[in-house]
Chains A and B, each alone.
Chain A
Amino acid sequence: MSRASARETLGALLLIVPLLAFLAVFFLWPLWTMVTAAVVDDTVSRVLPRTAAAIVSWDGRDLPPPQVHEALVADLRQANDQQALGETVRRLNSAVSGFRTLLSRTTSSARDGADPKTIDLAAVDPRWKDPRYWLALKDAVPPYTDRNLLAAVDMKRDADGAVVSEAPGASANRLIMFRTFLIAAIVTAACAAIGLPYAMLAAAVTGWKRSALLLAVLVPLWTSLLVRTTAWFVLLQNEGLINGALQAIGFIDSPLPLIFNRLGVVIAMTHVLLPFMVLPIYSVLLSVPRNLMQAAASMGASPLRAFWRVLLPLSLPGLLSGSLLVFMVAIGYYITPALVGGANDQMISSVIAFYATGTANWGLAGALGVILLLVTTILYLIYGRLSKSPQLLGA
């Protein structure tokens, strides 16, 4: 008996092997890559091993002793892997701007010079007299770092190694992250406010009316995101259809600011994400017996009361899963805010995209991703707690 069930379990496991493989390749592995990119920092010790060994003994005061200079020149002379050297340069330049030109100049003189001991780095470039550059080198020696994670939340380590906040006005990741969640929450609320009545209507009617209502939700889902966003641009702009119509009927004198601000972002994102709210609620409502409302009425409940006590609680599971979907998708948006938003509507994904594609600083991009993932996971856990509570589901 137990052997048979073990075999069954094994068979079941075999059946989900493709799923597990898929998850491992497309979910766990990228996540792992992102996390390691955020904390692993071994490029300098790999490419400049002698410098790394020599600079540890330097106490960080004044300038490092001559043997560190010599080690750096020797390392640069031998660094044959251009791509690895490039990675090192990128890493150092993100710590102190200017490292890129400094290191490329130093590398070419190191390679031209006959004897590494005769090269005077301060003569090659006066920036080598500035301890900031040496300190950045020293900081990059340990194989693991928390600088990316700290930078992702606008913090850094000061000269003594204590964690401090960045100067105000130097970085705004925290603010942008908070704004991302705020915009996602507003969009979720707006989607719920429109989606719930819409889904109820769609579930209440039948025949072609229902098909038309559902089609109206589905067609935008099949349209490219860019096209939908551009359509909103046409509608909302100062000389657009909405402002034009309102002015034509004399409702307003000057155009309403509908675009390039938070309002524009919320309108466009709500439209784009509405299907993710309507469809889950609709599918839940379909399974609700239609005579429940009549039953409530027969027991003396007013329509409003029947809605409040019967229909709303029954549609809550759909509302909750719809909210989760909308919120999660909204967090990752950045094309729509970029096109119809203003200066204060940039979301965190655009910052991540800047580091990932713009400057190839995958460490910081990964760290921002990790922080975003953490916050989202916490929110998801809270959501899980809420949606499991018996009053909500009536279970």
Chain B
Amino acid sequence: MNSAKMLTVAGCLSALLAGWSTQAVQARDLTVVSWGGNYQDAQRKIYFEPFAKKSGKPVLEESWDGGIGVIAAKVKAGVPNWDVVQVEAEELALGCADGFYEKLDWSKVGGKDKFLPAAVDDCGVGAIVWSTALSYDANRLKQAPTSWADFWDVNKIPGKRGLRRGPKYALEFSLMADGVPPADVYKVLGTPEGVDRAFKKLDQLKPHIVWWESGAQPLQLLASGEVVMTAAYNGRISGINKTEGKNFKVVWPGSLYAIDSWVILKDSPNKDQAMDFIAFASMPENQVKLPEYIAYGLPNKEAATAVPAAMQKELPTAPENLSGSAPLNADFWVDNIEELNKRFNAWLAQ
């Protein structure tokens, strides 16, 4: 091969490479990431597809299972390959403190006063209010459980129980079963004695627990009769009641609710479009369509009041559902998740 030929080949190659890399950077459309399952199906219908139609550009979507490490890896790579992500409260607090998210333009979403105070953050706009609650199959259980104390009482209602694997939720519910009122759970859990107390109570139920990890599992466990009751996400419960005609019930007292938020990853190449998308998904006329598909509460106050009364009572934000429940304390978990997870694993392995 003579040098002229080689140069040509090298030139072609580098042109190809350059073309490929710039294309990779420029051509990626707005990428929205959410939690999959029937929840994301609903979001696709009411947010993703209408927004793509309105903006005239396709919206790419992906699913994830949370974890600040995932966000950290994406942002530290330079140009993230996700733009808009729906995150849980801890990821919002952690990522905002660590500079993983863009600061939002609140004037575009209509101002902070249009939203529940807990749904307002420099880095995120609340997307839904969701609950983790005791649920059971009313067609199987003749005696309905009404509290976490019932959940712990294997003599009253025999059978296995499902809990999310990990200290989060398990420790709170365990304290409630031990008689701590929901409002005081984090006060107790904030002390070493409180943590010991929670683990001790958890000990009693240990042989009867089936641990689950993903949100779809508890539904499957209930449906197959593998467990008689389980902690589960309220929206998925009402979702499966609708789509598969189940008669699963949610016990609202003692449930823990939390807010998921939309964020934009730092240095996203589609930042403006991402902001437009969040604004679109936060408009009351769009948000109000969500409860038809899945029973999550709406952080936009105007949207929340516009939900038909029949659907209201299934939402975590309904006053009668809120009364016996408590908000998940994201700050507590941001500080303590690592230590408690270590202890939880050790406890589980005993």
Contact = CB atoms under 8 A, between A and B. Distances in A.
A97 B167 CA distance: 15
Contact of A358 (B68, B97, B343, B350): B68
Contacts of A171: 342-343, 345-346
A240 interface: yes
Given A97-B336, A100-B334, A172 B99 contact: no
A228 interface: no
Contacts of B184: none
A169 B335 contact: no
Contact of A93 (B73, B76, B335, B349): B335
A182 interface: no
Interface stretch (B40-48, B131-139, B209-217): B209-217
B342 A344 contact: no
Contacts of A98: 335-336
Contacts, number: 115
A346 B335 contact: no
A87 B335 CA distance: 14
B337 A83 contact: no
Contact of A83 (B67, B99, B331): B99
Nearest to A154: B346
B335 A101 contact: yes
A354 interface: yes
Interface in A358-385: 358-362
A86 B99 CA distance: 7
Nearest to A259: B226
A346 B348 contact: yes
B94 to A, nearest CB: 8
Contacts of B336: 97-98
Interface string A98-130: 111100100000000000000000000000000
Contacts of B225: 238-239
A203 B327 CA distance: 63
A94 B98 contact: no
A172 B349 contact: yes
Given A343-B209, A343-B348, A344-B348, A82 B98 contact: yes
A240 B100 contact: no
A364 B71 CA distance: 18
Given A86-B99, A93-B338, A343 B68 contact: no
A232 to B, nearest CB: 13
A268 B224 CA distance: 19
Contacts of A346: 345, 348-349
A238 B69 contact: no
Interface string B78-97: 00000000000000001001
A276 interface: no
Contacts of A358: 67-69, 337, 341
Among A101, A356, A357, find the residue whose CB has the most chain B CB atoms closer than 10 A. A357
A101 B338 contact: no
A81 B337 CA distance: 25
B213 A338 contact: yes
Contacts of A338: 165, 213
Given A237-B226, A239-B224, A360 B335 contact: no
Given A94-B338, A98-B335, A338-B213, A351 B345 contact: yes
A169 B97 contact: no
B97 A97 contact: no
Contacts of B211: 342-343
Given A83-B98, A343-B206, A361 B338 contact: yes
A83 B97 contact: no
A358 to B, nearest CB: 5
A357 B226 contact: no
A338 B214 CA distance: 10
B16 to A, nearest CB: 17
A86 B98 contact: yes
A86 B95 CA distance: 9
Contact of B220 (A81, A83, A93, A233): A233
A175 B347 CA distance: 11
B69 A356 contact: yes
B113 interface: no
B339 interface: yes
B283 interface: no
A170 B344 CA distance: 8
B70 interface: yes
Interface string A167-179: 0011110011001
Given A83-B98, A359-B68, A361-B69, 11 more contacts: A81-B99, A83-B99, A94-B338, A97-B339, A104-B97, A172-B350, A176-B345, A238-B224, A358-B68, A359-B69, A359-B338
17 contacts: A87-B98, A94-B338, A97-B335, A97-B336, A169-B347, A172-B346, A172-B349, A172-B350, A176-B345, A238-B224, A239-B226, A260-B226, A339-B217, A344-B348, A351-B345, A357-B67, A361-B69
Interface of A: 81-83, 85-87, 89-90, 93-94, 97-101, 104, 169-172, 175-176, 179, 233, 237-240, 259-260, 338-339, 342-344, 346, 351, 354-362
**Shortest Cβ-Cβ A-B pairs, 9 listed:** A86-B98, A82-B99, A357-B67, A360-B69, A172-B346, A357-B69, A172-B349, A360-B72, A97-B339
